[in-house]
């Protein structure tokens, strides 16, 4: 009887000792999971709240969703109306150095196409943006865009393919088309018929969210 009690006591002590050893590892894992992250949005007017009340754009709505989801992530919205891929390429190094983001959302290229810039230049700039972000240890989400057919079928189709091609080549996350369920609804655009209105912003966020959420865990 005493021998059995002795063995039982030893087993309890071993279990307690193992639990004590495991606690620092569990605390470290919990700390790593909840460590704050920084998300950098590098975009154009579609992300810069052009024509919208401050705080009503999709990036602001994203901030609220992150809080609701209890994802410890802060957002740096470095979007500028009229921005092109070359402009983003020029600004990105300083942004990466200053903010050290964990994730970079690249929402650029539409203004390149609207100005009829060479597709090869846009492709090279997108690649440079991805390369710089990766070199800074950031995950990348590429936001795909399309343009109206009045720019010619060849240019329109080739532009549309730039984004999935870059995502495949670099194995980055991709939003196939940022304006999905918006582009074909005139009521969701401002008077200029180019920029989504406030009612469209939740749809834009819903287009981005499925590709973004896995990058924040």
Active-site residue numbers?
Answer: 45, 192, 195
- Convert the chain into a string of H (helix), E (strand) and C (coil): CHHHHHHHHHHHHHHHHHHHHHHHHHHHHHHHHHCCEEEEEEECCCCCCCCCCCCCCHHHHHHHHHHHCCCCEEEEECCCCCCCHHHHHHHHHHHHHHHCCCEEEEECCHHHHHCCCCHHHHHHHHHHHHHHHHHCCCEEEEECCCCCHHHCHHHHHHHHHHHHHHHHHHCCEEECCCCCCCCCCHHHECCCCCCECHHHHHHHHHHHHHHHHHHHC
Which of 125, 167, 114, 169 is CA-nearest to residue 144?
Answer: 167
Distances (CA, A) of 109 to 87, 106, 145, 162: 10, 9, 7, 9
């Amino acid at each position: 009887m005493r021998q059995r009690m002795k063995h039982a006591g030893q087993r309890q002590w071993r279990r307690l000792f193992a639990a004590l050893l495991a606690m620092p590892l569990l605390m470290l894992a919990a700390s790593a999971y909840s460590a704050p992250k920084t998300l950098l949005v590098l975009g154009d007017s579609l992300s810069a709240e052009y024509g919208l009340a401050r705080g009503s754009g999709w990036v602001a709505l994203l901030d609220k969703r992150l809080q609701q989801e209890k994802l410890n992530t802060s957002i740096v919205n470095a979007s500028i109306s009229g921005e092109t891929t070359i402009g983003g390429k020029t600004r990105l190094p300083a942004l990466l150095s200053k903010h050290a983001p964990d994730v970079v959302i690249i929402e650029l290229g539409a203004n390149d196409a609207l100005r009829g810039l060479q597709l090869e230049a846009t492709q090279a700039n997108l690649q440079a943006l991805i390369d710089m972000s990766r070199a800074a240890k950031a995950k990348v989400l590429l936001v795909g865009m399309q343009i109206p057919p009045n720019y010619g079928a060849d240019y329109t189709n080739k532009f549309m393919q730039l984004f999935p091609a870059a995502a495949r080549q670099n194995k980055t996350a991709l939003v196939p088309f940022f304006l999905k369920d918006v582009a074909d609804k005139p009521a969701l655009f401002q008077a200029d018929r180019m920029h989504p209105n406030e009612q469209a912003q939740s749809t834009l966020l819903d287009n981005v969210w499925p590709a973004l959420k896995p990058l924040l865990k």
